[in-house]
Amino acid sequence: MLPCVLVTQPDGHAGDGWIGRPLKRREDHRLLVGAGRFVDDLRPARCAHVSLLRSPHARANIARLDVERARRAPGVLLVVTGAEVSHLAPMPVNRLVPGMRVPPHPIIAETDVHATGTPVAAVVAEDAYAARDALELIRVRYEPLPALPEPEGAAADGAPTLFADVPGNRAFVRTIREGDAADAFRISARVVSLRVAQVRIRAEVARLLGLPESRVRVIAPDVGGGFGVKSGPYREDVLLAWLARRLGRPVKWVATRSEDQVTTNHSRGSVCEGELALDAEGHITALRARVVSPLGGALMNAAAGPPWNHARLLPGAYVVPACEIAVTGALTTTAPVAAYRGAGRPEACFFIERLMDTGARALGIDPAEIRRRNFVPADRFPWRTVTGQIYDSGDYPAALERALAAADYSALRKAQAERRKRGEIVGVGLASYVEPCALGWESGSLRVERSGRVTAITGSSAHGQGHETTFAQVVADHLGVTPDEVVVVHGDTRSGPEGFGTFGSRSVALGGGALARVAGEVREKGRRIAAKLLEAAPPDVLAVVGGFQVVGVPQRRVTWREVAASAYAGGQALPPDETPGLEASTYFQPEGEVWSFGCVVCALSIEAETGRLVIERLVWVDDAGTIINPLLAEGQLHGALAQGLGQTLLEAIVYDPDGQLLTGTLMDYALPRADDVPPVQIEKMHTPSPRNPLGAKGLGEAGTIGLPPAVVNAVVDALGSLGVTHLDMPLTPARIWARIAAP
């Protein structure tokens, strides 16, 4: 585990209960000993296997498709082409941006393809080997067409049109205007500019198949992470369900690693250019930006989410009086582009934080000072941004000052000056960030069994977050039982009310909030039943550990088991007008998002001979409101740190001009290793959200938001004397060395 300093929560918000305790995850043992059950572990009886023939071209017409030899191959049960599934309903798309144009997204391509890896035929066989062998017998003749892998090229005037019903390949164009940005730029003391290049399933399956939801059951066993890729249905999900009905037997398909690299949704890749207007003292007067985001050759359900987040979050933690922000979603001949950890938040933060540093340099102001002058004041919450977002709570200046103090910022600057005299290349960078979380609603159900044990059902299905531990702590804290007495159920649409899902750092604030609400309802019903058992008035009965007691008389008490016995006995065992049972369900939807925030300080050095970057000091202050389990929170932050640094230093999706993915294997796509992740000092602040019962916010994406701009700001600071004003990610040694060696 990485070295970490985790500051404890202030007294008062967790009491002596289970919220705030660093319990180990109850899920870990079965996973560590190999007893987890993942999809590929499932072996239903009579299960057939599916393989997909995929297009090798990024854009082409299908001139001829012959599957007859494959249909006669040994072990083959069925071969399906696009014509046979063309009747299925269109894949779902969240039309988040008004006026979105959605191109066709067939389950299997019938006449043309718009991305490498698009399925053109499916083979079902008795085993996976027979299915793959049969693919070799299918004959396809393509007529390749020019590819459009880059968003600006795809959206440019005169570019070939990919879909007749999407003119200019622009799925949407949206502009946010507030205030008189043009006038602010006209009278501003300084303008700085920058160009940055970033490198719900049951209901949908039922709709696509034309079935009632009651006839579709989705079961999620153990899932090894999501990070946005699993936030919506893929065409393969629908195809498998249709094939199973067609054959009347189970079917199975598991993507190969190469299929996964080429066809599951990618992310980032937007191009953003814009300007920041400042007065002579460094106060922001206006922001102008133009965002062009790639969407791929087919729109995923969440396709519009990252571009829209990119646009709406550009003001960041700052007071921006006026703006003009245009965002374009461009169809490209690539894999679908949708959410990845952060989903537009990292892109927005990166742009505004790079602009803040650029403005500080132009005005000769310290980067910390220009942020101080522009933060939303702590006494102005809730705060409405120039793009219409309502920040619920925060103290951005305090996070900055805490990070500067923890890093000993003044000492870092002094040491930097001394080391530069010796010829060393050293830099210090910082970045502030906001992290909107908990969009939408979530369900929760809770039942106290006759035994006194508790069953909690959540619609938030886990894929590594530790729901079984965290939600048990929430319920235990509210009922006065131990987490070991709480069973958390998730991942089965038949087990409880419909859920919204796990994404966008929403689980604790919404899923936990829903369970906190129903736990409170069950506790109050339990109090009324306990009052009858204790022959006391309900206001005189206190909820305590393990049950209830009369106020001031601890020996007069009943356990949850005794209360449950009366609840299920019914009749005279209950107070008048009380119904039998001891359970509650709810759908919890707060009035808006919750807004986490923080600040990162990074100090680093660069080897002039190689361009190798070494992070020497990393301090990170994060405020995610009430923390249910500090140990799990630490793990989430470390994971996001690794992914944030991966994007900053190593990772890139690269297509050639023909739309072929050049980073389609782990030989070519660099991922961070343990020794790439530096020690980090993490400190927690606590500003509870008023928008959910727990005061919780999100923290799972913070590392991908705040880390990249802090590191890039430090690199630009280190290379500033060489005339470097910006570097795009990833900051590979080759890229840095080229700038050092440039004449």
Stronger pLDDT, 218 or 561, i.e. the higher one: 561
Residues facing residue 541 across a β-bridge = 550
Q: Is the pLDDT of residue 440 over 90?
A: no
Does residue 678 lie within any of the structural domains? Answer: no
Gap between the Cα atoms of 159 and 170, Å rounded: 11
Gap between the Cα atoms of 66 and 142, Å rounded: 12
pLDDT in tens, 92-116: 888 889 999 999 999 999 999 999 9
Does residue 473 lie within any of the structural domains? Answer: yes
Q: Is the pLDDT of residue 45 over 80?
A: yes
| Contact in structure between 284 and 324 (CB atoms under 8 Å) | no
Gap between the Cα atoms of 655 and 58, Å rounded: 10
Q: Region of 12 please: left (phi>0), alpha (psi -120 to 50) or beta.
A: left
Per-residue pLDDT at 203: 42
The dihedral sign for the CA sequence 567, 568, 572, 577? positive
* Tokens of residue 138, six digits: 């299918």
Reply yes or no: is the peptide bond before residue 497 cis, omega within 30 of 0. no
Per-residue pLDDT at 460: 73
Per-residue pLDDT at 199: 59
Does residue 497 lie within any of the structural domains? Answer: yes
Does residue 466 lie within any of the structural domains? Answer: yes
DSSP state of 376: P
Per-residue pLDDT at 215: 54
* Single-letter code of the amino acid located at 657: P
Q: How many CA atoms are closer than 13 Å to the CA of 728, on its beta-carbon side?
A: 15
Average predicted confidence (pLDDT) for the chain: 89
pLDDT category at 13 given cuts 50, 70, 90 is very low
CA distance between the termini of the chain: 43
Listed ranges 113-127, 452-466, 687-701; the one with the highest mean pLDDT: 113-127
| Contact in structure between 593 and 509 (CB atoms under 8 Å) | no
Q: What is the CATH number of the domain that holds 459?
A: 3.30.365.10
Per-residue pLDDT at 733: 94
| Contact in structure between 682 and 607 (CB atoms under 8 Å) | no
Strands (E), 149-283: 170-178, 190-197, 251-252, 271-278
Q: Is the pLDDT of residue 384 over 90?
A: yes
pLDDT category at 2 given cuts 50, 70, 90 is very low
| Contact in structure between 449 and 3 (CB atoms under 8 Å) | no
Gap between the Cα atoms of 105 and 166, Å rounded: 13
The angle that helices 396-407 and 409-421 make with each other, rounded to 10 degrees, is: 50
DSSP 71-135: HTSTTEEEEEEHHHHTTSPPPP----STT-------SS-SSEESSTT-EEEEEEESSHHHHHHHH
- Residue 351's alpha-carbon distances to 273, 310, 615, in angstroms, are 8, 9, 22
* Tokens of residue 298, six digits: 């087919």
Three-state DSSP at 736 gives helix
Q: Helix (H) and strand (E) counts for the chain?
A: 20, 25
Percent of the chain with pLDDT over 90: 73
Gap between the Cα atoms of 347 and 363, Å rounded: 25
Per-residue pLDDT at 575: 92
Name the pTM for this structure: 0.89
Tell which residue, 469, 458, 359, has the closest CA to residue 25.
469
- What SS3 string covers 621-655? EEECECCCCHHHHHHHHHHHHHHHHHHHHCCCCCE
Q: Is the pLDDT of residue 1 over 50?
A: no
Stronger pLDDT, 492 or 676, i.e. the higher one: 676
Q: Is the pLDDT of residue 573 over 60?
A: yes
pLDDT category at 8 given cuts 50, 70, 90 is very low
Tell which residue, 528, 474, 504, has the closest CA to residue 700.
504
Listed ranges 476-490, 498-512, 606-620; the one with the highest mean pLDDT: 606-620
Three-state DSSP at 536 gives coil
Within 10 Å of residue 312's Cβ, how many Cβ atoms? 20
Residue 418 makes CB contacts below 8 A (sequence gap 6+) with none
- Domain housing 485: 440-588
DSSP 479-507: HT--GGGEEEE-SBTTSSS----S-TT-I
Q: Is the pLDDT of residue 154 over 70?
A: yes
User: Which strands sit side by side in the sheet containing 541-544, from one edge to the other?
Assistant: 541-544, 547-550, 553-559
Gap between the Cα atoms of 338 and 300, Å rounded: 6
When pLDDT is averaged across residues 414-421 and rounded to a whole number, the result is 97
pLDDT in tens, 506-555: 688 888 898 999 999 999 999 999 999 999 999 999 999 999 999 999 99
Three-state DSSP at 216 gives coil
Per-residue pLDDT at 202: 41
Does residue 488 lie within any of the structural domains? Answer: yes
Our count of domains for the chain comes to: 1
Q: Where are the alpha helices (DSSP H) in 267-328?
A: 305-312
Per-residue pLDDT at 39: 80
Three-state DSSP at 70 gives helix
Does residue 535 lie within any of the structural domains? Answer: yes
pLDDT in tens, 711-733: 999 999 999 999 999 999 999 99
Strands (E), 367-406: 383-384, 390-391
Does residue 387 lie within any of the structural domains? Answer: no
Altogether, the residues listed in the chain come to a count of 743
Per-residue pLDDT at 96: 87
Q: Tell me how many degrees the CA angle 333-336-339 measures, rounded to the nearest 5.
A: 145
pLDDT category at 11 given cuts 50, 70, 90 is very low
Tell which residue, 617, 704, 6, 71, has the closest CA to residue 342.
704
Residue 186 makes CB contacts below 8 A (sequence gap 6+) with none
Does residue 308 lie within any of the structural domains? Answer: no
Per-residue pLDDT at 34: 85
When pLDDT is averaged across residues 576-604 and rounded to a whole number, the result is 93
- Residue 264's alpha-carbon distances to 151, 228, 257, 425, 438, in angstroms, are 18, 10, 10, 40, 24
pLDDT in tens, 198-215: 653 344 444 445 555 545
Summarize the chain as % helix, strand, coil (round to 5).
Answer: 35, 25, 45
Q: Is the pLDDT of residue 14 over 60?
A: no
